[in-house]
Amino acid sequence: MRIALNEARCSGCRTCQVICSLHNYTENNPKKAAVKIIGHFPSPGRYEIKICDQCGVCAAVCPAEAIGEEDGIYIIDKEKCTGCGECVEACPSGAMLQHPAEKAPIKCVACGQCAELCQRGAIYDADTREVQ
């Protein structure tokens, strides 16, 4: 699973956020999704997708050493995480989020659920699909 983006195809429907929260938190709550959709309206009229590209900066800055790497995917150990928010600030993609009800930040684990339900191909698995 290699998550890739084609922002021009995003229609802003946010299905990606719903399935992300359902799959990773067992909650119907897009504010707990590890993907963020930002509309730029009325001009120039486009959507921006913010999602982790697994660059690893979060792991490098984490003072609690709570973020580990496994097969190129950076995962937060919720036990170790102190909720200090350093990783959120350091994230170069602005793709890590905090929710008032969660101590640990919300971060993409490349489960691919969003790509599975993005019929537009705005978020897609570059390992299995061509850009649309």
Partner 1 sequence: MNGYGGNILRINLTTGEMNIQPLPEEMAKEWIGQRGFIAKTLWDELKPGIDTLGPENKLVMSTGPLAGTLVPAGGKVSFGAKSPATGIYGESCMGGHIAAEMKYAGYDMIIIEGAAARPSYLYIKDDQVEIREASHLWGKGAIQAEKTLKDELGEDFQICTIGPAGEKLVKFACISHDFGRQAGRTGMGTVMGSKNIKAIAICGSNSIPLADMTAAIAKGKEMLKGCFAKENLEEWQDYGTAGVPVWANKIGAFPTKNFQSSYLEGNESLDGKIMRDKMVVTDKGCFGCPSPCGKYCFVKPYNVYTEGPEYETTALIGGNCVFTDIEQVGYLNYLCDELGLDTISAGNVIGFAMECYEKGILNQEQAGMELKFGDVASFKYLVEKIAAKEGIGSILAEGVKYAAEQFGGESIKFAIQIKGLEWSGYESRSAPSNMLAYMTCDLGAHHSRAWSVTHDIAVGRKVLEGKAQKVIDLQHIRPFFDLIGCCRLQWVEIGFELEHYPEVFRYITGFQYTQDDLMKISEKVWNLTRAFAWRELEDYGRKYDYPPARFYEETVTTGPNAGDVLSKEALEFLLDDYYKLRGWDQNGLPTREKLEQMGLEFVVRELEAYGRNLS
Other C-beta atoms lying within 10 Å of the C-beta of residue 7: 12
Which residues, numbered 4-23, are part of the site for partner 1 (CB under 8 A)?
A: 8-9, 11-15, 18-19, 21-23
92 binds partner 1 (CB under 8 A): no
For residue 74, the minimal CB distance to partner 1 (Å) is 25
Q: Looking at this protein, which amino acid is placed at residue 36?
A: K
119 binds partner 1 (CB under 8 A): yes
Which three-class secondary structure string do you get for 52-65? CCCCCHHHHHCCCC
120 binds partner 1 (CB under 8 A): yes
Over the window 25 to 64, marking each residue x when it contacts partner 1 by CB under 8 A and - when it does not, the resulting string is: -xxxxxxx---x-xx-xxxxxxx-----------------
Which three-class secondary structure string do you get for 8-20? HHCCCCCHHHHHH
For binding to partner 1 (CB under 8 A), which residues are involved?
Answer: 8-9, 11-15, 18-19, 21-23, 26-32, 36, 38-39, 41-47, 99-101, 116-117, 119-120
